[in-house]
A and B are shown apart, each in its own frame.
Chain A
C-alpha cells in the first residue's frame, strides 16, 4: 500500500493527482495519514500513531483508516 510517487500534497492539505487531474482536500487527520503513508508506514503502524496523537478509540480509528484507504485507492491516490 503506497501513495503514488507523483501525488503532490500542499501544506494546506490539498492533494493533486497529476495522472488523473483530480484535486482533493483533506482534514488534519487525513493529512497526517497521507504523510505517514508517504513514509511507507503500514496501516497498523499508522493506527498506533493516530491513537498516540489523538484521543480516540483504537477500533474506531482502524475502521476509519480502512475506509479512508479504500477511498484513496478508489481515487487512484494509492497504488
Chain B
C-alpha cells in the first residue's frame, strides 16, 4: 500500500484538556507502510493542530455538530471536491453521532470511515451503561437516573455513602452525606440540567484501556495504561503501560460482545480484590493514543489499514513500562494564518 492516502482527522485541539487528533496524526505519520496527506478538520480557529504544518498538510473548518448532518455533509462535499478524501477519522464524542449517520453517504462518495454503528454507539451511553453491563455480564456500578429533585428526597433513607453524583454530559462529585449529595445535585443541575445520575462509588485503581476492534468481534489491539499523575482537570499528565491479563481479557470480552468497530477507550476501576468495573466507555481514541504506537501497537495506523480493506492481524505483544509525559510547547504563527482559517475557513 505504498501510496499517499488522503486522510481527514478531527480534534486538533492539543491543549490542556486535549483532543486526540494530533496524537492520531503523529501515529499515522510514523507508520512505514503508507504515506499520508493529512487534512485537518477543525471547529475553532485556534486549534493548535491547524498550525502544525509538518503534521497537517491542509485544514478546513467544519460546522459545529449542533448544525446537523445536512450542514456537515455540504461542507464535506466541498472539502472532498478539493482534496479527494479517502478516509475520515473523527475523534470527538459530540461529532460521532453525525459522522455515524453519514457513514453510508460518505461511502458512496468514496470516503471511508471505521466507526461503530449507531446501536453500538448508543448502548455505551452514560445513561444506558448499567443496562449494557447487565446484558453482557460486565461489572458496572449501579446507577439511578433522577429527573426531579423530589426523587432525590425520596431516596434519602436508602442511600449509601460515598455516592457519585454525575451530570448528563460532564462533571462528577463524590458525596459522603445526604447534605453533600443535595449540594452536588443542585450544582450540577445548574450547570448541565436534568437528568442527574447517582452512581455507586467504586473504590480502586483507575485504569484506562485503549482498544481497537475490527467490527467482527476481534480485538486487534489492547493497551492498558495507568495514569501516573493527573492535572487539576482530571486529565492524564503522565501514564504508563501495564501488564495485566485481567484487563486484556476484559477488553477482549468487550469487543467480542459488542462487535465494536474502530477505536475506543474503556475507563475501568480495578477494586482491591481485583474486580474490574467499567466506569465509562469513550467511543473513540483517547488523547494518549500515541502511547499505543510507542508501545508497539500502532492503533491509528491499524485503523487506517482496516478502513482501506487490508487485513490486519491482532497484535500479540506490546512493551510494558512505556511512559508518556505530556508537555506544552508554545507554537509561533502569524496573524495572517489566523485570519485565513478564521475568515476563509481554510489554511
Residue in A closest to B343 when the chains form the complex, CB atoms? A25
Q: Are A12 and B335 in contact (CB under 8 A)?
A: no
**Per-residue contact bits, chain B 324-336, to A (CB 8 Å; 1 contact, 0 not):** 0000000000011
B344 at the interface (CB under 8 A from A): yes
A20 at the interface (CB under 8 A from B): no
Q: How far is A13 from B343 in the complex, measured between Cα atoms in Å?
A: 9
A19 at the interface (CB under 8 A from B): no
Residue in B closest to A16 when the chains form the complex, CB atoms? B335
Q: How far is A10 from B344 in the complex, measured between Cα atoms in Å?
A: 13
Q: How far is A10 from B338 in the complex, measured between Cα atoms in Å?
A: 13
- Residue in B335, B336, B339 whose CB lies within 8 Å of A25: B339
B282 at the interface (CB under 8 A from A): no
Q: How far is A14 from B45 in the complex, measured between Cα atoms in Å?
A: 15
B342 at the interface (CB under 8 A from A): yes
Query: Which residues A1-19 have CB closer than 8 A to chain B?
Result: 10, 12-14, 16
List residues of chain A with CB within 8 A of the CB of B339. Answer: 10, 12, 14, 16, 23, 25
> Least Cβ distance of A6 to chain B in Å?
13
Q: Are A10 and B336 in contact (CB under 8 A)?
A: yes
Residue in B closest to A15 when the chains form the complex, CB atoms? B339
List residues of chain A with CB within 8 A of the CB of B343. Answer: 12-14, 23, 25
Residue in A closest to B339 when the chains form the complex, CB atoms? A14
5 contacts between A and B (CB under 8 A): A12-B340, A16-B335, A16-B339, A23-B339, A23-B342
> Least Cβ distance of B44 to chain A in Å?
14
In this complex, the interface size class of chain A, counting residues with CB under 8 Å from chain B, is: under 10
In this complex, the interface size class of chain B, counting residues with CB under 8 Å from chain A, is: under 10
Q: Interface on A for B, CB 8 Å cutoff?
A: 10, 12-14, 16, 23, 25
Q: How far is A39 from B342 in the complex, measured between Cα atoms in Å?
A: 28
Residue in B closest to A18 when the chains form the complex, CB atoms? B335
Q: Are A23 and B344 in contact (CB under 8 A)?
A: no
Q: How far is A14 from B342 in the complex, measured between Cα atoms in Å?
A: 10
List residues of chain B with CB within 8 A of the CB of A14. Answer: 336, 339, 343
List residues of chain B with CB within 8 A of the CB of A16. Answer: 335, 339
> Least Cβ distance of A66 to chain B in Å?
25
> Besides A12-B340, A23-B343, A25-B342, 16 other CB < 8 A contacts?
A10-B336, A10-B339, A12-B339, A12-B343, A12-B344, A13-B343, A14-B336, A14-B339, A14-B343, A16-B335, A16-B339, A23-B335, A23-B338, A23-B339, A25-B339, A25-B343
Q: How far is A10 from B335 in the complex, measured between Cα atoms in Å?
A: 11
Q: How far is A25 from B344 in the complex, measured between Cα atoms in Å?
A: 9
Q: How far is A75 from B112 in the complex, measured between Cα atoms in Å?
A: 45
Q: How far is A71 from B339 in the complex, measured between Cα atoms in Å?
A: 19
> Least Cβ distance of B339 to chain A in Å?
4
> Least Cβ distance of B244 to chain A in Å?
50
Residue in A closest to B336 when the chains form the complex, CB atoms? A10
List residues of chain B with CB within 8 A of the CB of A23. Answer: 335, 338-339, 342-343
List residues of chain B with CB within 8 A of the CB of A12. Answer: 339-340, 343-344
> Least Cβ distance of A24 to chain B in Å?
9
Q: How far is A14 from B344 in the complex, measured between Cα atoms in Å?
A: 10
Q: How far is A14 from B343 in the complex, measured between Cα atoms in Å?
A: 8
Residue in B closest to A14 when the chains form the complex, CB atoms? B339
> Least Cβ distance of B332 to chain A in Å?
15
Residue among B335, B339, B344 with the highest chain A CB neighbour number at 10 A: B339
> Least Cβ distance of B22 to chain A in Å?
24
Residue in A closest to B338 when the chains form the complex, CB atoms? A23
> Least Cβ distance of A23 to chain B in Å?
5
Q: How far is A3 from B280 in the complex, measured between Cα atoms in Å?
A: 55
